[in-house]
């Protein structure tokens, strides 16, 4: 199996805020927006950030009374924005901007969604991924860039799962779940299996015949899967220590050596240092889908091992996007989440 190494780029920029008018494709719905009050705004960019959890713009523009105020507009995370043609250099402070989007239900809150934005030179940016070419090529060896498949019910997991065999401690977490507990609001990233089902693209690479690397965009920690069984576990971590093998067309990955991890199991469910993970990856015959059967064991939060499935679809290969998480962007993300 051949592997093409992809460079990891550090994308950093300072500044902020944007909200899409397409709830189905957003990281969460924006219930605060009045979808029947869509307006066109005009102003100048004061800040733009290519940051986690979401990209943001701040724009100085007149409000309904003609007073210059600072609007906040929240977009999606950087990889999602890159798929619709945005980049970390799309805007800079001082740029003229016209945008359309629904206003917040609170007239006194200067917060909007966005369906399109136009720069001073007339360039228009939208949230339509179909407007940007994305010709994915099939994978022949599991490698390449993959994203969560929206087909077949593999939707974002924004609430705790239903029907899992939880222990009393796990059930208590679910009973008291609230989005404010999301580790991302403090720039934290859980390990697998939660990290494997977040809606960010995943890059699989084979730097050599004995190693598989699993890299999630916007999560700088890289999972290393040792195919020769010679790796050293080292200190426990959120990613754990992974050993893999091929059985026919299936890649089997067994992982342990974890630390206790906030939401390390699933949305709203933590994991302990006793967690063990077995993942079975198979690829569709056309090389366009990657299927996973994931079995997780954790006697602290589960009453027995549990198996669930997940699926990814192939993306056009490109460099992995990394962007810093800032506490300001994380707080704006939390404020935009419906309570």
Q: Give the chain's residues under pLDDT 50.
A: 1-29, 338-339
- The phi and psi torsions of 282 (rounded to 5 degrees) equal -135, 150
Please name the residue ranges forming H helices in the chain: 78-83, 168-175, 194-197, 327-336
| pLDDT at residue 44, rounded to an integer | 93
| pLDDT at residue 334, rounded to an integer | 56
Query: In the numeric block, which tokens belong to residue 243?
Result: 């050993």
Q: 17 with 91: CB under 8 angstroms?
A: no
| pLDDT at residue 333, rounded to an integer | 56
* Residue ranges of domains in the chain, CATH in brackets: 8-132+323-336 (2.40.50.1010), 144-315 (2.40.128.20)
Q: 304 with 276: CB under 8 angstroms?
A: no
| pLDDT at residue 17, rounded to an integer | 31
């Amino acid at each position: 199996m051949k592997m093409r190494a992809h460079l990891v780029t550090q994308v950093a920029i300072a500044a902020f805020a944007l909200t899409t008018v397409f709830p189905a494709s957003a990281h969460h719905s924006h219930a605060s927006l009045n979808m029947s009050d869509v307006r066109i705004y005009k102003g100048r960019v004061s800040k733009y950030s290519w940051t986690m959890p979401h990209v943001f713009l701040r724009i100085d523009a007149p409000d309904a009374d003609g007073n210059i105020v600072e609007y906040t507009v929240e977009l999606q995370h950087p990889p999602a924005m890159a798929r619709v043609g945005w980049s970390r250099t799309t805007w800079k402070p001082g740029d003229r901007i016209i945008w359309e989007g629904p206003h917040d239900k609170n007239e006194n809150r200067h917060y909007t969604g966005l369906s399109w934005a136009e720069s001073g030179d007339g360039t228009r940016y939208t949230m339509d991924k179909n407007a940007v070419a994305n010709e994915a090529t099939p994978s022949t060896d599991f490698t390449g860039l993959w994203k969560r498949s929206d087909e077949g019910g593999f939707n974002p997991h924004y609430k705790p799962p239903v029907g899992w065999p939880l222990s009393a401690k796990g059930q208590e977490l679910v009973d008291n779940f609230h989005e404010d507990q999301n580790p991302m609001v403090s720039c934290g990233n859980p390990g697998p299996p939660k990290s494997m089902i977040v809606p960010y693209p995943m890059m699989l690479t084979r730097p050599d015949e004995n190693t598989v690397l699993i890299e999630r965009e916007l999560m700088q920690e890289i999972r290393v899967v040792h195919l020769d069984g010679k790796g050293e576990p080292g200190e426990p971590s959120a990613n754990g220590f992974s050993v893999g093998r091929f059985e026919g067309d299936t890649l089997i990955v067994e992982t342990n050596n974890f630390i206790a991890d906030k939401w390390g199991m699933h949305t709203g469910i933590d994991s302990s240092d006793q967690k063990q993970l077995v993942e079975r990856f198979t690829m569709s015959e056309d090389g366009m889908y990657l299927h996973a059967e994931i079995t997780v064991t954790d006697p602290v939060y589960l009453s027995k091992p549990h198996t669930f499935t997940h699926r990814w679809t192939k993306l056009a290969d490109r460099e992995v996007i990394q962007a810093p998480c800032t506490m300001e962007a994380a707080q704006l993300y939390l404020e935009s989440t419906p309570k």
